[in-house]
Amino acid sequence: MGGTFMMDYQKFFNLSAAPQIPKSAQGRRDAYFRAMPEICIERAALVTKYHVDHELLGKKKISVRDKARAYHYVQENRTAVVWHTSAMEKTATGPAPFALAKDLVDESPLAGSTTSKFKGIPLFPEFMALSIWPELYTISTRAANPHYLDTAPKSDGQPSDAERLDREIFAPWMNDTVLELARAQHDPYIHQPNLSLFEHMQYAVFYATTKIECISHTIPTFQRAVRRGVAAMIADAEAAAAAATDPEKSEFFQAVAIALDGILVYAERLAAKAEAMAQVETDAGRREKLSEIAARYRRVPRQPAESFRDGVTTVWLCWSSILQENQNVGISLGRLDQLLHPLLQKELANAASAADQKRVLDDAFELLCHFWLKIGDHVPMMPEAGEQLYGGAGSNQAITIGGVNYADGKPVDAVNDLTYLMLDATEAMKLRDPNLNARYHTDVNDEVYLRRVILSNINTRATPAVHNDKAVIKMLQDKGATPAHAMDYGIVGCVEPVSAGRHYGHTGSVLINLPAVLEWTFYNGRHRHTGLGADDPVIGAPTGDPRKFADFEQFMTAFEKQIDKMVDDVVTLNNWLGETHQHYYPTPTLSALFEGPMDKGMDVIMGGATYNSSGMAIIGLADAADSLASIAEVVFANGRNRFGELLAALDPASNGAGHDALFAELARPERRYGRQGSAGTALAARIAAKLDAEFGKRKNYRGGDYRVGYYSVTSHAAYGLLTGALPSGRKNKAPLASGITPESNTPVALTETLASVGSLPATALGNGFALNISFAPFADTPATEQRCMDYVKGYFAAPGTPSAAPQPGGLEVQFNMMGREALRQALAHPDPHLLVRVSGYTAYFKDLSATMQQEVITRTEYGYAAGQVIPIAASKGGAPRGPALPFGQKQGGNTP
Amino acid sequence: MNDVKKPTMAGGKKSILDRLKKDLEKLKEEAENFGVEEAVIALLDAMAAYYDLTGAHNTSIANFNGVCVIRTRQASDHIAASAEFANGRMSVYRGERKPWQVCITFVDADALWAFLISGAADVLDLLLKNSAQIEGNANYFYRFGFLARELVRETGFDRFLPKSA
């Protein structure tokens, strides 16, 4: 085996034996699945009180130092939870508490909690928390994903949490949310009938800019905290503040010191609480655990970590402190196997015997299982209709393992003991978060590691995703990273690669519906969802009537002009909102835990990070490419222009009825993206290059570049609901294709799919992509594992677009390995533990919307042996529920 | 008004709410006979009356200052009404009172009425269905939606509403 191992991994761990949940974590895991999410108002209440008491609202700017003091106040006053004692669950008669005791006891070695609740929902009134205002008294009992909120007045006469939100917490922010501050500054059309970019956004069909919700989507660094301790970091910041001649830089350094001190204050409060609990604890075992926690939390993160347990504690406390400041949408933890392995190595080296070394590994595995539970101790707030769009999504905090490091001018194997232990923990716990991502370098990492990654996918059915080191490293270097920084990449949120801890990429800045842009080309800037009448808004560019275009190239020119318009709009909106963040929402805690700000003397939001960019996510590439291929080969075939006929067929009133012959022509799969050498594949590459080039001309508000990626979360289903029938043959309201994956049931063989996707220009895919591959179930044998490994290796080595130098292959791939039948059965008999890969992240199947569930079920499924496509067959008892069939297909034939 | 003896909160609130509930049920029927605009005005008046008569204005809307406009897009059946919150009072006006903080424009009268009486106030749902457009500060709409939902809930009227708008 390559890599750095203190142990002969295969001697102690049987690669074919599935890791078991440690007994100490089983109870907490069971409680986690039993508990319903609970809204915690604590952070919102404390932040609001601080802002109101210090008159920070209504000002033209909030300084980074004021923000640091606000978060310090939160750390001083939020509940110091050592162990939770109760949680809420959904029962037949409504939400009810259950005790965490006996078999469901919480005795985590990691004290502290993101919120005051066991499975909490933190609120950020600075962003979109006010959107649940209308639901305060119904959110606990709504049908989809209820969030428990205390609505009963307290026994001491104090108001309920719902009442506090209504009367005290939400009201001060009405004009001071990030969206309203940006609108007030930039929207010149208030009170006029003309639409502005903010109102375009409200139509929900064109793009979704996430800065109104958060920035998030990044990877901090915990290296200095682990290796030097937070006290040393504070001393550095205070010294820098004293030495700085620029008052703004001095203020920033002071803010860093204040924010870091907040972390130590919270740690000390947890230590004191654990000590107090130990003094009254009658059970000797619990008393010992509490005493150990108290001692450890007095030591770290103040001082450097001395043990693996210290290191994990430091990471946990620093990361969860960032979450008091930043809403967690993809705040990822980076390459923890690289960061923490030296601590584990030291313990293994100091072990007296092989048995002791085994104990060290077992303890580390157990701790990781507890850490995985802690990382997922909160979920995002979701308003009622948001469930239709994003139901099932967690917070998507990613951890990256494996791959290579840079040493002596070349890549060296980075896989180590901890890489394997993290795979073990992921496989044992089967939680949707953390979102584990495995890096694999075809020339450096060995096959034992790849086999282990594949085995984890087989055992969990859905994780981890696998990333192609050669392709990603080259792409990052092409985008400006040094070789060392490129090789130190981590995955953010879903699938986005950035240099870990130093690249502030907001990789989820805007989610763009590409078929909507195509539709602007059909209707000279209008869209079916917003109306095609003369009084209906023109959102896109005026590019003319396609019924009068001479040929397909004229249509493509018009489409590319619409792309230019879309890029202009989203970049303008993103930069406006980014500037608002700069004025009102600096993030000193995150900046303290990032490479760059201490050197530059500025917050990450001002451009303090070493690398800066904003990431776009394009949804519907396959649908757009396939539609264009059909337009080229059918609508403009033989010198004709049949656009009038096409528009009549796309009319939402008819939805293709009466145009069977045309739709049958349009829907033929041979030309589609996903077929090797097809027109659709060539057009997908052309679109990707165009988007990268157009976004590449712009700079963001931090002076960084724009990068384009192709992952869709659940937006492909959401945008699909708002998108009518398309020239690809896709029917009205059907989901768009997920991520960069070809449309379902287009491919004929896995190798063609992988070659088609792998041929896209990697440099144009700077924000990463999600390729979803579903396998029919197969028995786990060395032969089947090898077959899967061969697919990955072949895909990663596939030649890219022709150029002077050979290109590496596809950037990423992720799997579902449970099969359609298991998913269909899960519809009737929901399994709370069934994980699926959505499009970038992992979710519990039962939490997905009905539309999303059907989308996952109807994805192209391949047999492992030859990679052949498994046709969709009707399930027992007739065709399953779900979205309408592809146009032209009838029940009883090739039905989903 | 000063000579009118106001009922006490304990017994009085219940009777006021019962009366409001009956009025709202009647409003549903009257909407078809007298037009949605009259019904919208009446519904908003009921809201204003609720705050005045129960003293809820001392808490629910004490610090709520702003104008919410509700209207339809259709020229042929244009409806517009405004609810102004100021100094702890709610006032209702026909037409669009300017300047407003938020304006919700429904595609037609049916969409407007269905939204108001359904007890549902999910902005995103409206946008997804393209049944309304929101201009201005949506936070005012969220708060107004809470107040409307609370009225429906307090009067018990929600038990008589259709399951979906």
Q: How far off is chain A from B153, nearest CA to CA, in Å?
A: 9
Q: What is the pLDDT of residues A807-842, one digit of tens each?
A: 567 999 999 999 999 999 999 999 989 999 998 889
Residues of B in contact with A722 (CB under 8 A): 128
Strands B132-136 and A611-619: unpaired
The answer, for A203 touching chain B at a CB cutoff of 8 Å, is yes
Q: How far off is chain A from B36, nearest CA to CA, in Å?
A: 23
pTM for this entry: 0.93
Report the domain count for chain B.
Answer: 1
- CATH number assigned to the domain comprising residue B152: 3.30.1050.10
Question: At residue B121, does pLDDT exceed 80?
Answer: no
Question: At residue A896, does pLDDT exceed 80?
Answer: no
Residue B34 lies inside a defined structural domain of this protein: yes
Q: Indicate the residue of B60, B124, B130 with minimum beta-carbon distance to A383.
A: B124
Residues of A in contact with B153 (CB under 8 A): 137-138
Q: Indicate the residue of B64, B123, B137 with minimum beta-carbon distance to A180.
A: B137
Confidence of residue A797 (pLDDT cuts 50, 70, 90): confident
Residue of A nearest to B125 (CA): A385
Residue of B nearest to A720 (CA): B128
Cα dihedral B113/B118/B124/B128 (nearest 10): -60
Strand partners, A617: A511, A709
Q: How far off is chain A from B121, nearest CA to CA, in Å?
A: 6
- List, in order, residues 6 or more apart from A886 with CB less than 8 Å away: A667, A729, A730, A731, A734, A745
Answer whether B98 sits within 8 Å of A191, measured CB to CB.
yes
For residue A301, cis peptide bond before it (omega within 30 degrees of 0) = yes
Classify residue A173 by its DSSP letter.
G
Residues of A in contact with B59 (CB under 8 A): 167
Cβ–Cβ < 8 Å for A205, A516: yes
Angle between helices A552-584 and A679-696 (to 10 degrees): 40
Q: What phi and psi, each to the nearest 5 degrees, are found at residue A279? A: -65, -25
The answer, for B75 touching chain A at a CB cutoff of 8 Å, is no
- List, in order, residues 6 or more apart from A709 with CB less than 8 Å away: A495, A496, A507, A615, A616, A617, A618, A765, A766, A767, A768, A769
Answer whether B127 sits within 8 Å of A204, measured CB to CB.
yes
Residue B6 lies inside a defined structural domain of this protein: no
Classify residue A701 by its DSSP letter.
T
- List, in order, residues 6 or more apart from B89 with CB less than 8 Å away: B48, B51, B52, B57, B61
Question: At residue A875, does pLDDT exceed 60?
Answer: no
N residues, chain A: 896
Cα dihedral A282/A287/A291/A292 (nearest 10): 180
Q: What is the pLDDT of residues A701-742, one digit of tens each?
A: 999 999 999 999 889 988 998 899 999 999 888 999 999 999
Residue with tokens 């029917």: A731
Q: Indicate the residue of A133, A137, A203 with minimum beta-carbon distance to B153.
A: A137
Angle between helices B36-54 and B9-34 (to 10 degrees): 170
Answer whether A204 sits within 8 Å of B145, measured CB to CB.
no
Q: What is the pLDDT of residues A394-418, one digit of tens each?
A: 888 999 999 999 999 999 999 999 9
Round to whole Å and give the CA distance between A557 and A785. 46
Strand partners, B133: B105
Considering only CA atoms, which of B114, B107, B110 is closest in space to residue B161?
B114
Domain assignment of residue B23, given as a range: 12-158
- List, in order, residues 6 or more apart from A230 with CB less than 8 Å away: A260, A263, A264, A301, A302, A314, A318
Answer whether A385 sits within 8 Å of B125, measured CB to CB.
yes
Q: Indicate the residue of A131, A204, A389 with minimum beta-carbon distance to B142.
A: A131
Residue B107 lies inside a defined structural domain of this protein: yes
Round to whole Å and give the CA distance between A177 and A182. 9
Residue of A nearest to B148 (CA): A134
Cβ–Cβ < 8 Å for A637, A679: no
N residues, chain B: 165
Classify residue A103 by its DSSP letter.
G
> For position A104, what pLDDT does the model report?
81
Cβ–Cβ < 8 Å for A384, A135: yes
Question: At residue A894, does pLDDT exceed 80?
Answer: no
**Most distant CA atoms of chain A, gap in Å:** 88
Residues of A in contact with B136 (CB under 8 A): 190-191
> For position A532, what pLDDT does the model report?
92
**What's the mean per-residue pLDDT of chain A?**
91
The answer, for B132 touching chain A at a CB cutoff of 8 Å, is no
Round to whole Å and give the CA distance between A191 and A194. 9
Burial A101-120, CB ≥16 within 10 A → b, else e: eeebbbbbbbbbbbbbbbbb
Rg of chain B over all Cα atoms, to the nearest angstrom: 15
Confidence of residue A8 (pLDDT cuts 50, 70, 90): low
Question: At residue A324, does pLDDT exceed 90?
Answer: yes
Classify residue A595 by its DSSP letter.
S
Question: At residue A805, does pLDDT exceed 60?
Answer: no
- Sequence letter at residue B150: E
> For position A431, what pLDDT does the model report?
94
Could you give the angle at the alpha carbon of A210 between the alpha carbons of A206 and A215, nearest 5°?
155
Answer whether A204 sits within 8 Å of B128, measured CB to CB.
yes
The answer, for B41 touching chain A at a CB cutoff of 8 Å, is no
Going across the sheet that includes A869-870, the strands are A398-402, A435-440, A465-468, A812-816, A772-775, A861-862, A869-870
Q: What percent of chain A has a predicted confidence (pLDDT) above 90?
A: 78
Answer whether A173 sits within 8 Å of B139, measured CB to CB.
yes
Answer whether A133 sits within 8 Å of B98, measured CB to CB.
no
Residues of A in contact with B85 (CB under 8 A): none
- Sequence letter at residue A24: S
Beta strands in A353-447 (DSSP E): 398-402, 404-407, 410-413, 435-440
**More confident of the two residues A379 and B113:** A379
Strand partners, A530: none
The answer, for B16 touching chain A at a CB cutoff of 8 Å, is no
**More confident of the two residues B117 and A173:** A173
Q: What is the pLDDT of residues A685-701, one digit of tens each?
A: 999 999 999 999 999 99
> For position A855, what pLDDT does the model report?
92
Considering only CA atoms, which of A463, A476, A389, A386 is closest in space to residue A422?
A463
Give the best residue of B135, B141, B144, B159 to mutate against chain A (max A CB count within 10 A). Answer: B135
The answer, for B98 touching chain A at a CB cutoff of 8 Å, is yes
> For position B129, what pLDDT does the model report?
74
- Sequence letter at residue A297: Y
Q: What is the pLDDT of residues B13-57, one digit of tens each?
A: 667 667 767 766 676 666 666 677 777 887 788 888 877 777 765
Answer whether B134 sits within 8 Å of A722, measured CB to CB.
no
Q: What is the pLDDT of residues A239-270, one digit of tens each?
A: 999 999 999 999 999 999 999 999 999 999 99
Q: How far off is chain A from B38, nearest CA to CA, in Å?
A: 24
Give the best residue of A135, A181, A198 to mutate against chain B (max B CB count within 10 A). Answer: A135
Q: How far off is chain B from A606, nearest CA to CA, in Å?
A: 27
Residue of A nearest to B57 (CA): A167
Q: Indicate the residue of B125, B143, B153 with minimum beta-carbon distance to A133.
A: B143
Answer whether A190 sits within 8 Å of B122, measured CB to CB.
no
Q: What is the pLDDT of residues A639-649, one digit of tens each?
A: 999 999 999 99
Residue B1 lies inside a defined structural domain of this protein: no
Residue B3 lies inside a defined structural domain of this protein: no
Residue B93 lies inside a defined structural domain of this protein: yes
Answer whether A722 sits within 8 Å of B128, measured CB to CB.
yes
Round to whole Å and give the CA distance between A547 and A198. 31
Angle between helices A308-322 and A336-350 (to 10 degrees): 160
Q: Indicate the residue of B66, B128, B135 with minimum beta-carbon distance to A199.
A: B135
Residues of B in contact with A203 (CB under 8 A): 127, 130, 133
Strand partners, B91: B84
Residues of B in contact with A383 (CB under 8 A): 122-124
> For position A456, what pLDDT does the model report?
93
Confidence of residue A193 (pLDDT cuts 50, 70, 90): very low
- Token pair for residue A717? 């289903």
The answer, for A180 touching chain B at a CB cutoff of 8 Å, is yes
Round to whole Å and give the CA distance between A794 and A805. 18
Give the best residue of A140, A173, A202 to mutate against chain B (max B CB count within 10 A). Answer: A202
The answer for A588, left when phi > 0, alpha when psi is -120 to 50, beta otherwise, is alpha
Round to whole Å and give the CA distance between A652 and A482. 51
Residue B113 lies inside a defined structural domain of this protein: yes
Round to whole Å and give the CA distance between A303 and A845. 42
The answer, for A388 touching chain B at a CB cutoff of 8 Å, is yes
**More confident of the two residues B18 and A36:** A36
Cβ–Cβ < 8 Å for A230, A260: yes
Round to whole Å and give the CA distance between A211 and A215. 5
**Environment class of A480 (CB within 10 Å of its CB; exposed 0-12, middle 13-18, buried 19+):** middle
CB atoms < 10 A from the CB of A279, how many? 11
Chain A / chain B CB contacts < 8 angstroms: 92
> What's the rounded mean pLDDT across residues A68-79?
98
Question: If residue B70 lies in a helix (H) or strand (E), which one and from where to where?
Answer: strand B66-72
Confidence of residue A789 (pLDDT cuts 50, 70, 90): very high
Cβ–Cβ < 8 Å for A403, A441: yes
Q: What is the pLDDT of residues A38-51, one digit of tens each?
A: 999 999 999 999 99
The answer, for B125 touching chain A at a CB cutoff of 8 Å, is yes
The answer, for A530 touching chain B at a CB cutoff of 8 Å, is yes
Query: What count of Cα atoms within 13 Å lies in the side-chain half-sphere of residue A19?
Result: 26
Confidence of residue B117 (pLDDT cuts 50, 70, 90): low
Residue of A nearest to B132 (CA): A203
Q: What is the pLDDT of residues A204-245, one digit of tens each?
A: 899 999 999 988 899 999 999 999 999 999 999 999 999 999
Cβ–Cβ < 8 Å for A25, A373: yes
Considering only CA atoms, which of A428, A472, A420, A424 is closest in space to residue A446?
A420
